[in-house]
Structure 1
Amino acid sequence: MSEELIVAADGPVLRVTFNRPGQHNALTWAMWDGLYDACERADASAEVKVLVLSGAGGRAFVAGTDISQFSSFSDGSDGVAYERKVQRIIDRLERVKVPTVAVIQGYCVGGGLVVAAACDLRLAVPGARFGAPIARTLGNCLSMNTYSLLVHHLGPARTLDMLLRARMYTAEEAHAAGFVAELCTAEELPARQAEVEERLLGHAPLSMWAAKEAVRRLRVAGLPDGDDIVSTVFGSADFHAAVPAFLAKQPVTWQGH
């Protein structure tokens, strides 16, 4: 795999590091694919007991998908294809048989928020920030699966507050909402992370898998189709004006179509 995504075994822990610190670890298509492959590797090895995801550089976990890749989108079908690709990978991450842990420093935004939400546990430092401020940046939307994940973790009121106001939640707010399981200083983080990993390694694998899988099935049991929503928004004039404006650091005048 490219050095933009580092996947390395550390005894019974498989560590995945998003490694584009100069770009706040924004995900390229290859990094998305590499995450899927890492999940496959975790389930294929009897030696792997825990999967841990983190971002390099300390300024971000993942700051979304690399926006430059949206420049090639021509209509709503491209948005549908993109969200289906992301959903396939997020679904694979949710289905990993061993416990998954996201270790979050800095920005956890957009696609990064989705990746973190698909993990079983989240550890964060006080400087971490969580959100999907697309209502003021790209004017795009999320997939139905992603909306479901956010409502599952945050509830409908917090999800709408985050998305409609394009709010970035602090680590303290995310912890109070139950999204973040462990909140500690950057200095404490390595020791707390090691404690969490050690505890998970000492527990019954099938009991943990059963809990993970039962919660996942409960979440997706009534998941409706949302391709029409995605196609409408990604096919809009607003989105196609916002992508080049975002890359050029220019403001956008929203038209609502």
Structure 2
Amino acid sequence: MSHDEATDDLITSVDGGVLQVTFNRPKQRNAMTWQMYQGLYDACERADQDESIRVMVLRGAGGDAFVAGTDIGQFREFTGEDGVEYEGRISRILGRLFAVNIPVVAVIDGFCIGGGLGIAAAADIRICRESARFGVPIARTLGNCLSTSTLGALVRLIGQSLTTDLLLTARLMDAAEALRSGFVTAVADDLDAEAERLTGRLLGNAPLTMWATKESLRRLNAADSVDDDDIVSRIYGSNDFAGAVDAFLSKAKPEWHGR
């Protein structure tokens, strides 16, 4: 039995116990709007409230990107206080995704960067096509920062050394490196077939055992909570960030002054 819901930018459907969530802005590489973030949160609520749903799958439309960050146009005229509110909101949404009671699978095709990498990191299992690229290139694009909760999720998944390298160099990691690092567990030419095989396996496993594993990990990770409001406020309230947003939207190269 299938039931579908759709907006312009995010599509959800349920079929055979699987909740499919598709980020649907292919012309913008599925860059996330506030509405899409809220739609993702609502999908998490739906996954936990509907007992017929056993697995949740996240995808990006179009084949060019899973999610290529947050829509930059939403950052115009940001203040430090706005930045703290934004990062807090993202942390809550990603925390909600991580806390979903059922297995969450990220099926990654193309670019998975910035906010997209955060979304993928909050899933339980990640698989990708060979063309996938991963990273947080904000040191050369916007000059903003990650919240410590998102940073911590990356450190737990791929280690501090690689996380630091990706953030300081602003480079992108290819699928082979993502597989070696453990960020993804499979690289497949036929990504749809691999996703179907994986979801089929999860559907056949004991729900309570999978929930216990997820909930125990969530509690372990909750111990790493850090107050980072002062860091986030300084970055999002900086002249560098404001200038980089304008430069990005006008397709110019940002200039960094450290203030």
Query: 1:251: Cα distance to partner?
Result: 1.1
1:168 to 154, 169, 172: 172
Q: Deviation at 1:191?
A: 1.5
Q: 1:89 aligns with which of 85, 89, 93?
A: 93
The match for 2:251 among 244, 249, 252 is: 249
Q: Deviations over 1:61-90 (max 9, x none)?
A: 0000000000141x2000000001101110
Code of the aligned partner of 2:18: V
Matching residue of 1:227? 229
| 4+ aligned runs moved over 6 Å, structure 1 | none
Determine the structure 1 residue equivalent to 2:3: none
Residue deviations 1:91-110, cap 9 Å, x none? Answer: 11001000000000000010
- 1:239 match: 241
- Contact in 1 for aligned 2:77/2:242 (Cα 8 Å): no
1:178 Cα shift?
A: 0.4
Corresponding residue for residue 122 of structure 2: 118
User: What corresponds to 2:50 in structure 1?
Assistant: 45
Aligned residue for 2:7, secondary structure, equals coil
* Matched residue, 2:163: 159
Q: State the partner residue of 1:177.
A: 181
Give the Cα separation in 2 of the matches to 1:2 and 1:86.
Answer: 20
Matched position secondary structure for 1:97 = coil
Q: Distance in 1 between matches of 2:168 and 2:97?
A: 27
Tell me the amino acid that sits aligned with residue 144 of structure 1: T
Query: 5+ unaligned residues in a row in structure 1: which ranges?
Result: none
User: Distance between the aligned counterparts of 1:220 and 1:151, measured in 2?
Assistant: 14
The Cα of 1:3 is off from its aligned counterpart by 2.2
TM-score, with structure 2 as normaliser: 0.97
Given candidates 14, 28, 33, the residue that maps to 2:38 is: 33
Query: Does the 8 A contact of 2:152 with 2:224 survive in 1?
Result: no
Residues in 2 aligned to 1:72 and 1:34: alpha-carbon distance in whole angstroms: 25
SS at match of 2:127: strand
Identity score, percent: 55
Name the Cα RMSD after superposition. 0.8
| TM-score normalised over the length of structure 1 | 0.97
Gaps of 5+ in 2: 1-5
Map 1:65-84 → 2, pairs under 5 A:
65-73=70-78, 75-84=79-88
